[in-house]
Structure 1
Amino acid sequence: MLYLDLGIVTVLIVLNGLLAMSELAIVSSRPARLAGLVEKRVKGARRALALASDPGKFLSTVQIGITLIGVLSGAFSGATLGLRLASWLIEAGLPPGIAEPVGVGIVVAFITYASLIVGELVPKQIALRDPEAVAVKVAPAMVLLAKASHPLVWLLDRSGKILLWLLGHREQAADRVSEDEIRTLVAEAENAGVLEPGEKDWIAGVMRLGDLAVGAVMTPRHEVDSINLEDSNDQIFADLLESEHSHLVVFDGNREGAIGIVSAKDLLDVYLAGKIPKVRDLVREAPIIPEALDARDVVMLLRGAPVHMGLVHDEYGVFQGVVTSADILEAIVGSFHTKDGPAEPAAVKRDDGSYLISGWMPALEAAHLLGITLPTSRPYQTFAGFLLQEFGKIPNVGDRIEDEGWQFEVADLDGRRIDKVLASRLEPA
């Protein structure tokens, strides 16, 4: 009988561990991964996904099993094994008043220890290491258990929902994944070697596209190479020779509105043939992009355009600059090497912990680098625009301003444009 009682207690502890492992595995499993296993036709994946999508009934089923096991384990530990050990202690010469509490206490302590290790900690650690793999294996058994205890599960599930309703939780919690969670997962994947070096930055760049307005990635109009149809042929030829780009923006007298673009190759072909080109006939239409559009939508527009260059105009129809597919790519992976040498870094960290930041750096990237908060609606797209907003005027070299624990000092100006800024963290008071 002693061995039978020990066997029953061992089986109950193991069953408790299996239920605890199943509960944590299915609750911790990601629906997207389970859906992927369903597409691969992994056995048990569909049932695991169904259980994960309705956790109320599943948790009720598991709790019924764990509660029954706990009651039975307590009964066997106290009423059988504890009394047997107490009898053995009495036979060994211990007084009955001491032998009974000591015997029951030793048995309860041992079973509690075994229940914590075998019935809780180890199974849950196994479930956390690979929840989806465990979930698909235990799902068929959990479905059978749920069907067997359906009436009681229905009662518990309904009672739980009524109590939640009374407590004010009357809406189903949405299973949302935030951008911060995605960044954390990407960082963990890079540390684990799943992602190659640099891929984390590329993924972060893609995620930023939806937050960047086109003004943050476009080439502003004062840096755009252009041709004016009202200029003489010699001037047009000179503008073409000075340009390093394959396409030039075309104006018809009015610099506030571009009429299209022209290919430098088309113009050169005519000049090389010894003729004077009719520039107006060579002008190609380019998509007109509102300045308020975000960079992600610009990608879709450029994909459907015959020329991968868009003309950016503000709400008043005034030309502001151009955006190309190369600009979008640079916003994701960073600037490319130019003929003058390596691309200028947007920010350089100095030995003292301060940063030398270029004014053209997107304000969103600078905010992420420095850990500062930007307003959701803002009239600027670059770090220079952020500082102009803070200063309230065009600053001079050496002017300083403090904001959100940082001191910003204008280190260099390019005309009226803020070119370099020194950002130093302020010491706490």
Structure 2
Amino acid sequence: MIELGLVALLILLNGVFALSEMALVSSRPARLKAMADAGRAGATSALRLSSDPGRFLSTVQIGITLVGILAGAFSGAALGDLLSTILRENGVSAAVAGPLGFGIVIASITYLSLVIGELVPKQLALRNPEAIACAVSPTMTVLSRIAAPAVWLLDRSTRVAFRLLGQSGASTSTVTEEEIKTMVLEAETAGVLETHEREMIAGVLRLGDRPVRGLMTPRTEVDWIGLDESPAAIRAQLLATPHSRLPVSESDTDSMVGVIQVKDVLAALLTGSAEFDLRSFVRTAPVIPDTVDALDMLKTLRDAAVPMVLVHDEYGHFEGVVTPADVLEVIAGAFRSDSYDEDPDAVRRDDGSWLLAGSMPADEMADCLGLSLPSERGYQTVAGLVLAGLRHLPITGETVDMLGWRFEVVDMDGRRIDKVLASRAAAD
């Protein structure tokens, strides 16, 4: 019975090593750092071990190997002989009892080692890796110090093997954007995040990937005022606009000089000031190229005296404006207003196809359709994608096959693509 208890103890010890290995390998350093900052016992040790995986894994492998050798020795020498004796006493011939006893013992120890010593501890560690890592890390740290010479030898040997394989031995794993999206989706499925929270996180990720062209309000949709207009015309335009700020131009849209606050100009007009001069209300607004990243633009927008940025192309032509509302729309979605288009940008039809607005951002369309856009592309909208595929201004009914989908132009608004029907392209 002593031998049986010793083998059971060795199997449990193997499980502790397997539990420790999986917990520390699966732990996220950011969470361990937060737990260490909060004063969680063992978090600092766990963080130190996870930052030096060679030393820790060598310690674990030494422990698992020793446990396996001892378990095999005791099970074969003691339990095998004991079971063979029991079988002979129960009428089994000596020629059969010996191999049969050893076979049953080896099979039983192997089964228990796999279940109790490996599978159960590892699955347990995956359920709460950081908490378990904090619990086992002090013991693992002591063991690594006790076995320091052997750990050093194994760690050095591993590094030599990596060099022979042409590897640096350093981990190059990073968290990708797709992995973040997957984790957020899993959090939503598990009820940790609400659907709207997941959509806003996706919007933040989209914002980081967009250039200013994919964020701005284009010039064709921008309300602006000319300095040469009469006070009556200016008053009528200010009363009609839903915006609180408007760009101001010398003569046309390529001659923007700044921005006005609508309420300031209206106050002067309504008081009937005889010396009304629109130029005195113009405030300087930053001008940025349309190739700037959205996040770089965001810093410019925060530092601006007026929360509006004027966007120009490489030739100096006015392309559009960006306001805090444009940024918020990417993250939280469009807000209803007097000019709000009640038709959604994307509508899924019964046959699985999608009716898309031409002005819909291409990255949002990709999320709806479940496709991957090229990282380097010259378009930012669904209409731009269709034009990139056709390479000419389409007419209603034209189609183009791209990215595994067929895009059909179903409505044109003058020269602008208004509606596009997207359906799965037929397999060749």
TM-score, L = length of structure 2: 0.96
Q: Which residue of 2 aligns with 1:337?
A: 336
Matched, 1:309 2:308: yes
CA distance in 2, matches of 1:17, 1:374: 46
Quote the residue 2:410 is aligned against: 411
Contact 2:235 2:266 in 1 (8 A): no
Q: Judge conservation of contact 1:252–1:258 (CA < 8 Å) in 2.
A: yes
Residues 107, 374 of structure 1: alpha-carbon distance in 2 compared, 3 angstrom cutoff: closer
Contact 2:242–2:338, Cα closer than 8 Å, also in 1: no
Distance in 1 of aligned mates of 2:409 and 2:244: 35
Per the alignment, residue 190 of structure 2 pairs with 192
Q: Deviations over 1:206-229 (max 9, x none)?
A: 011111111112111122111111
Alignment match, 2:266: 268
SS at match of 1:379: coil
* Contact 1:336–1:343 (Cα < 8 Å) also in 2: no
Query: C-alpha deviations, 1:381-410, integer Å up to 9, x for none?
Result: 211111112111111111112223221111
Contact 1:411 1:421 in 2 (8 A): yes
Q: Give the drift of 1:85.
A: 1.4
Write the letter of the residue equivalent to 2:142.
L
What do the CA deviations read for 1:159-186 (whole angstroms, capped 9, x no partner)? 1111111011125122311001100110
Matched AA of 2:302: R
Q: Which moved more, 1:206-215 or 1:251-260?
A: 251-260
Aligned counterpart, 1:49? 47
* Letter of the structure 2 residue corresponding to residue 290 of structure 1: P
Rounded to whole Å, the distance in 1 between the matches of 2:100 and 2:377 is: 73
Which stretch shifts more, 112-121 or 13-22?
112-121
Q: Distance in 1 between matches of 2:398 and 2:7?
A: 77
Distance 1:248 1:73 in 2: 81
Q: Does residue 36 of the first structure (1) align with residue 34 of the second (2)?
A: yes
How many angstroms apart in 2 are the aligned matches of 1:377 and 1:111? 57
Distance 1:125 1:408 in 2: 46
Deviation at 1:63, TM superposition (A): 0.7
Q: Give the structure 2 partner of residue 203 of structure 1.
A: 201
SS at match of 1:210: helix
Q: Does the Cα contact within 8 Å between 1:335 and 1:343 map onto a contact in 2? A: no
| 1:14 matched residue in structure 2 | 12
In the superposition, relative to structure 1, how do residues 383 and 183 fare at CA in structure 2: closer, same or farther (>3 Å)? same
Matched, 1:393 2:374: no
AA of the residue aligned to 2:404: G
Q: Secondary structure at the match of 1:284?
A: coil
* Cα distance in 2 for residues equivalent to 1:380 and 1:196: 32
1:358 matched residue in structure 2: 357
CA distance in 2, matches of 1:294, 1:185: 26
RMSD of aligned residue pairs (Cα, Å): 1.5
How is 1:235-384 mapped onto 2 (pairs within 5 angstroms)? Answer: 235-276=233-274, 277-339=276-338, 343-384=342-383
The CA distance in 2 between the partners of 1:241 and 1:188, in whole Å, is 48
CA distance in 2, matches of 1:115, 1:67: 13
Structure 1, unaligned stretches of length 5 or more? none
Question: Structure 2 matches for 1:210-221, cutoff 5 A?
Answer: 210-221=208-219
Q: Which residue matches 1:108?
A: 106
Separation (CA, whole Å) in 2 of partners of 1:216 and 1:181: 24
- 1:424 matched to which residue of 2? 423
Where does residue 228 of structure 1 map in the other structure? 226
Counterpart contact for 2:200–2:331, Cα < 8 Å: yes
Q: Assess, with a 3 A threshold, how the Cα gap between structure 1 residues 182 and 405 changes in structure 2: closer, same or farther.
A: same
- Partners of 1:83 and 1:375 lie apart in 2 by 67
> Which stretch shifts more, 295-304 or 118-127?
295-304
Counterpart CA distance in 1 for 2:59 and 2:9 is 19
The one-letter amino acid of 1:228's match is G
Aligned to 1:87: 85
**Deviation string for 1:239-285 (max 9, x for gaps)?**
22332211111111243121001111111111111124210011011
Instruction: Provide the C-alpha distance between the structure 2 equivalents of 1:324 and 1:160, rounded to a whole number of angstroms.
Output: 55
The one-character-per-residue Cα deviations of 1:258-313 (angstroms, maximum 9, x if unpaired) are: 10011111111111111242100110111112211122222221111221111111
Instruction: Please state how far the C-alpha of 1:27 moved relative to its aligned partner.
Output: 0.6
C-alpha displacement of 1:98: 0.8
Q: Which one-letter code corresponds to 1:76 in the other structure?
A: F
1:72 alignment counterpart: 70
CA distance in structure 1 between the aligned counterparts of 2:237 and 2:354, rounded to whole angstroms: 38
SS at match of 1:198: helix
Greater mean alpha carbon deviation, residues 149-158 or residues 229-238: 229-238
Find the partner of 2:176 among 173, 178, 182: 178
Match in the other structure for 2:94:
96
Counterpart in the other structure of 1:137: 135
Q: Structure 2 unaligned segments of length 5 or more: list them.
A: none
- Asked whether the 8 Å contact 2:400–2:408 carries over to 1, the reply is yes
Q: Give the distance between the partners of 1:117 and 1:376, measured in 2 at CA.
A: 46
> 1:44–1:139: 8 Å Cα contact kept in structure 2?
yes
Amino acid at match of 1:392: R
SS class of match (1:180): helix
